[in-house]
């Protein structure tokens, strides 16, 4: 019997954010494999299944076990929180399968399905307003697998490019200086009062949300269950919510919806000789938390 390997992202951890397909895929699986914390979050869905709990740094062991069981004809779920393809198990699984000679959709022994889920960055953003409405990037500060100079270059590029930046794995007991270094790099490109959201355990029992500034970012408790969103130069806070404008105010009066003089709907933004949008800029309240 042909085996099946399901790479499942089950979202932030709350049952309400588990997709229909993820729920069905877990129900379909005969075997479920995952980091022990992940298994605990979906334990109520695992009754009657063969369950393998693994620790941190055993990602490759999880993959080899899952593939071996799938080759034996079983339906195996390898679970990740968030999305399996965003710092999750889909990446190492595909690497291992490539090395072990898996033939993709033509493989006679094992079929593989990646089941997407709500990422940590999406979950965190939903709790603090609309910080990702314009271009953003995600950067992991963990140097366990990626050299710090590479991470540093990416932070520098994100700062120079004025991206909203989502920081994964920002700090641990061993890694206690990288977040400060990251803040210092970003401060070269944006103001100290730039809004920052610090969210621990989004949509889990110990959820904790803080709105602060780039200058004060390192004054708050941060750990491995924390995701940080750093605004761009246009991000502001209003009514306790973090907002990154998409740019409508460059072309329209946001109160009357009228198009500004010199601009045209469905056409590229018209700029003046100094590179600024043509038309009177509306007064928009800006401010740090």
Q: Measured between alpha carbons, how far is residue 56 from residues 35, 120, 286 in Å? A: 7, 18, 42
* Residue that the structure tokens 């003046």 belong to: 272
Higher-pLDDT residue of 198 and 175 is 198
- Give the model's pLDDT for residue 2: 96
CATH fold of the domain at 121-243: 3.30.950
Q: To the nearest whole number, what is the mean pLDDT of the chain?
A: 94
Residue 288 clears pLDDT 80, i.e. is over it: no
CATH 3.30.70.3340 fits 3-118, yes or no: no
Give CA–CA dist 265/251, Å, rounded.
Answer: 8
Give CA–CA dist 105/93, Å, rounded.
Answer: 15
Interval 104-143: pLDDT, tens: 999 999 999 999 999 999 999 999 999 999 999 999 999 9
Interval 247-267: pLDDT, tens: 999 999 999 999 999 999 999
Going by C-alpha positions, the residue among 68, 225, 46, 199 that lies closest to residue 126 is 199
Going by C-alpha positions, the residue among 82, 59, 77 that lies closest to residue 13 is 82
DSSP string, 36-105: HHHHHHTGGG-TTSEEEEE-TT-HHHHHHHHHHHHHTT-EEEEEESB-TTSSSTHHHHHHHHHHTT--GG
The model's confidence at residue 280, banded by pLDDT at 50, 70 and 90, is low
Residue 245 clears pLDDT 90, i.e. is over it: yes
- For the chain, the first-to-last Cα distance in angstroms comes to 58
Residue 155 clears pLDDT 90, i.e. is over it: yes
Q: 4 forms bridges with which residues in the sheet?
A: 75, 111
In the DSSP assignment, the letter for residue 16 is G
Residue 289 clears pLDDT 90, i.e. is over it: no
The model's confidence at residue 173, banded by pLDDT at 50, 70 and 90, is confident
Going by C-alpha positions, the residue among 114, 116, 115, 119 that lies closest to residue 82 is 119
Residues with Cβ < 8 Å from 50, sequence gap 6 or more? 30, 31, 32
- Give the model's pLDDT for residue 58: 92
- The ranges assigned to domains in the chain are 3-118, 121-243
- Give the model's pLDDT for residue 25: 98
- Percent of the chain whose pLDDT exceeds 70: 97
β strands within 107-180, DSSP E: 110-115, 129-130, 136-140, 164-168
Task: Indicate the pairing of strand 164-168 with strand 129-130.
Answer: unpaired
């Amino acid at each position: 019997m042909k085996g099946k390997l399901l790479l499942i992202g089950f979202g932030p951890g709350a049952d309400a954010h588990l997709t229909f397909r993820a729920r069905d895929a877990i129900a379909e699986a005969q075997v479920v494999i995952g980091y022990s914390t992940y298994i605990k979050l979906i334990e109520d869905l695992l009754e009657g299944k063969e369950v393998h709990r693994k620790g941190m740094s055993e990602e490759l062991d999880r993959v080899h076990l899952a593939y071996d069981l799938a080759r034996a004809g079983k339906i195996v779920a390898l679970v990740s929180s968030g999305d399996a393809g965003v710092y999750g198990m889909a990446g190492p699984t595909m690497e291992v399968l490539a090395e072990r000679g898996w033939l993709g959709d033509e493989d006679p022994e094992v079929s593989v399905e990646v089941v997407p889920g709500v990422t940590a960055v999406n979950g965190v953003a939903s709790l603090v307003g609309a910080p990702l409405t314009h271009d953003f990037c995600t950067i992991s500060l963990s140097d366990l697998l990626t050299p710090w100079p590479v991470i540093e270059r990416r932070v520098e590029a994100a700062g120079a490019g004025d991206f909203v930046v989502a920081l994964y794995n920002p700090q641990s007991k061993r890694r206690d200086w990288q977040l400060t270094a990251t803040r210092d790099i970003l401060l070269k490109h944006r103001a100290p009062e730039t809004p920052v959201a610090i969210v621990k355990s989004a949509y889990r029992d110990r959820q904790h949300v803080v709105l602060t500034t780039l200058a004060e970012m390192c004054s708050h408790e941060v750990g491995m269950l924390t995701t940080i969103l750093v605004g761009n130069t246009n991000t502001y806070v209003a009514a306790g919510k973090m907002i990154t404008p998409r740019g409508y105010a460059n072309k329209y009066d946001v109160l009357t919806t009228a198009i500004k003089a010199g601009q045209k709907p469905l056409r590229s933004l018209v700029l003046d000789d100094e590179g600024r949008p043509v038309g009177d800029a509306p007064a928009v309240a800006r401010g740090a938390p």
